[in-house]
Every structure is written in C-alpha cells, then in structure tokens.
C-alpha cells in the first residue's frame, strides 16, 4: 500500500471511530440504565427488616436538556422490583424557571414508591438559581410530598425500627445538620442520606455508625479507562462513584445518577441501586 493511501485510510478510520464513539456517548450510554445490587449490613437491624430491599434513585434532573420521558420509563422498570424502601438522594430538576415544576409533577406521577416507605432529600439544583432560592426548594419539597414521598430536611425519622437521617444540601441555603446529628443514638440501626458526599468529611458524624447514601457526582459522566473522571464536583476526589469505606463504622455509597446534567456519558452508565438490608 502506498504511503499516501495508507494515511488516507487511517484518517478515514479515525474519523469513523470518533463519530461512532461520539454517537455512543451521546445517544446510547446516557440512556443505558444499570440496576446495581449490593448487600447492606446494618448493625442492630431488626430481624423483620433483614432481607428487605432499599432502592436508591438519585439526580433525575428533570428539565429541558434531555427527554425526561426516559426518567418515566426508568421508573416503570424500577417498579417491577417492588422495593420495600425507596430513597431519592436529590437533584430532582435542572432548574431554569417555573416550567420545571410542571415537568417534575408529570414525572413524579410515575414515581417509584416503597412498600414500606419512600423518602427524599434535596440536592443543590433543587435550590434554583445559584442554589440560593429557598422558595424553589420549598415548592419542590411540596411536589414530592404530594407524590407520597417523605422529604427529610435536616431531620431523622424512624421507619419500622430503622433510623433514616436526611441532610439538606451542602451548597443550598438550609444546610444545618448539627442539631439533628446530635440527637442520634449510635446503637440504633441507621442510614443517612446526603446529596453531596463532601459532607462525609465534616465533623458531624460522631454519633453515626452505618451507611451514607449520596449522589451529586454522576460518577463524572465521562471516565477514561483506568483513569479518574475528568470532572468531579467535589473537593474530595476520592468521592467519585460506588462504595467507599470511610472507616470501620461508616460506609459511603455514591450513586452514578439516573439523569444527566448534559446527555453525554462514557464508561459511567446511569444507575439505580438496590440494597438488600442486613446482607453482606
């Protein structure tokens, strides 16, 4: 093969590969949902809850950047698992304006609800422009409550013997976790929900022993093989995705997000997580 012909074919092959990868990252992986199943051992868990399932859904980001009918379709798939508990760990919208209220209301008509309980916390995007609009957060909370979901905002609630603590968003206007964290009893079975995993590095966890469920990072959405993601919106770059052992008493799990800030993903599929309580 002549050198000129070789170079030409090589360039054409590279262009075809780039187009193929681009199409995959834009049109396929952002909507290629994965259900991840894990055991969740919990100290002093009541025997009646052993083997029950807890489903985590995070970062649905309803808005105008992608077709949110994908979220409805994902919810319908998730409902088939018939989870006992469902927790939503924040970022229900891509906030632009009040249109997101109507969009979210339509989506949450199809919400996945637990047989025993459905619980949510808010994320930074649920606080509107610059994450500083308390009224937006209040309205989204009310929409979720109308969909049958408990919204915990720096609160603790006991569900069938299991304490669930919901911490409001680190970047929002209502991040005041200290009062509720001081009320915890470390001998009780506990799960904490906090949207941004950077909260795990704050000195508020003395009375907590258990699992912390977060989202926020989307796993970076684009991750080269064998390398960390290009972009992670956290200070602690250890907090990318999946299970992170914080210490002997605390385990963090970071969900890769169901929705997308922008519909581009590569090597970071969207996720819904199913935990089996009391199992390794």
Q: Specify if 19 maps to a domain.
A: no
Would you state the pLDDT for residue 19?
Answer: 52
Does residue 115 form part of some domain?
A: yes
Give the pLDDT confidence of 175-232 residue by residue, as tens digits: 999 999 999 999 999 999 999 999 999 999 999 999 999 999 999 999 999 899 989 9
pLDDT at 71: 98
Chain CA centroid to CA 106, Å: 20
**Cα–Cα distance measured from residue 10 to residue 1, given in angstroms and rounded to the nearest whole number:** 12
At 165-181, the pLDDT tens digits run 999 999 999 999 999 99
Q: With bands split at pLDDT 50, 70 and 90, how would you rate the model's confidence at 23?
A: confident
For the chain, the domain total comes to 1
How far, in Å, CA of 12 to CA of 6, rounded? 10
pLDDT of residue 59: 98
DSSP 8-class letter at 266: B
pLDDT at 16 over 70: no
Domain assignment of residue 66, yes or no: yes
**What residues are paired with 86 via a beta bridge?**
55, 118
- The pLDDT, as a whole number, for residue 102 is 98
Name the average pLDDT for the chain.
93
In angstroms, the CA 275 to CA 280 distance is: 10
pLDDT at 133: 98
> Rounded distance, CA 186 to CA 20, Å?
52
**pLDDT above 70: percentage of residues in the chain:** 92
Would you give the DSSP letter of residue 168? P
Give the domain extent around 204: 32-277
Residue 90 — pLDDT band, cuts 50, 70, 90?
very high
What CA–CA distance (Å, rounded) separates 186 from 200?
A: 16
DSSP 55: E
95-131 pLDDT per residue, tens: 999 999 999 999 999 999 999 999 999 999 999 999 9
The C-alpha atoms of residue 214 and residue 170 are separated, in whole angstroms, by 12
pLDDT grade, residue 148 (50/70/90)?
very high
Q: How far apart are the first and last CA of the chain?
A: 59
Residue 2 lies in a domain: no
Separation CA 172–CA 124 (nearest Å): 6
Question: Are 207 and 181 contacting, i.e. CB atoms less than 8 angstroms apart?
Answer: yes
Higher pLDDT, 4 or 229: 229
Taking 60 as the threshold, does the pLDDT of residue 18 lie above it? no
Neighbours of 154 (CB within 10 A): 17
What is the per-residue pLDDT for 17? 40
| Separate counts of helices (H) and strands (E) for the chain | 5, 12
Q: Where does the pLDDT of residue 26 fall: very low under 50, low under 70, confident under 90, or very high at 90 and above? A: confident
- Rounded CA gap, 89 and 191, in Å? 12
Across 153-175, average pLDDT: 98
Residue 15 lies in a domain: no
Q: Is 211 among the domain residues?
A: yes
Q: Residue 67: give its domain's CATH number.
A: 3.60.21.10
268 is a domain residue: yes
pLDDT at 157 over 70: yes
Distance separating alpha carbons of residues 89 and 195, to the nearest angstrom: 5
Query: Is residue 27 in some structural domain?
Result: no
pLDDT band at residue 8 using 50, 70 and 90 as cut-offs: very low
């Amino acid at each position: 093969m002549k050198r000129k012909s070789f170079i030409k074919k090589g360039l054409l092959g590279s262009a075809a590969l780039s187009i193929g990868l681009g199409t995959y990252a834009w049109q396929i992986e952002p909507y290629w949902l994965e259900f991840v199943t894990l055991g969740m051992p919990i100290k002093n868990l009541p025997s009646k809850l052993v083997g029950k399932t807890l489903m985590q859904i995070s970062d649905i980001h309803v808005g105008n950047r992608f077709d949110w009918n994908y979220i409805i379709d994902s919810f319908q798939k998730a409902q088939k698992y018939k989870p006992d508990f469902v927790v939503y760990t924040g970022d229900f919208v891509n906030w632009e304006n009040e249109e997101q209220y109507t969009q979210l209301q339509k989506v949450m008509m199809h919400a996945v609800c637990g047989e025993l309980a459905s619980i949510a916390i808010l994320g930074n995007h649920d606080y509107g422009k610059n994450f500083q609009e308390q009224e937006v957060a209040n309205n989204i909370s009310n929409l979720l409550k109308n969909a049958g979901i408990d919204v915990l905002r720096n609160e603790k609630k006991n569900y069938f013997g299991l304490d669930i603590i919901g911490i409001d968003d680190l970047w929002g206007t209502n991040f005041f976790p200290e009062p509720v964290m001081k009320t915890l009893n470390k001998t009780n079975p506990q799960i904490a929900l906090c949207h941004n995993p950077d909260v795990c590095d704050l000195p508020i966890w003395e009375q907590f022993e258990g699992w912390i469920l977060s989202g926020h990072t989307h796993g970076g959405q684009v991750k080269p093989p064998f390398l960390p993601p290009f972009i992670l919106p956290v200070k602690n770059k250890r907090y990318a995705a999946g299970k992170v052992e914080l210490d002997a008493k605390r385990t963090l799990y970071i969900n890769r997000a169901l929705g997308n800030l922008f519909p581009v993903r590569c090597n970071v599929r969207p996720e819904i997580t199913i935990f089996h309580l009391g199992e390794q």
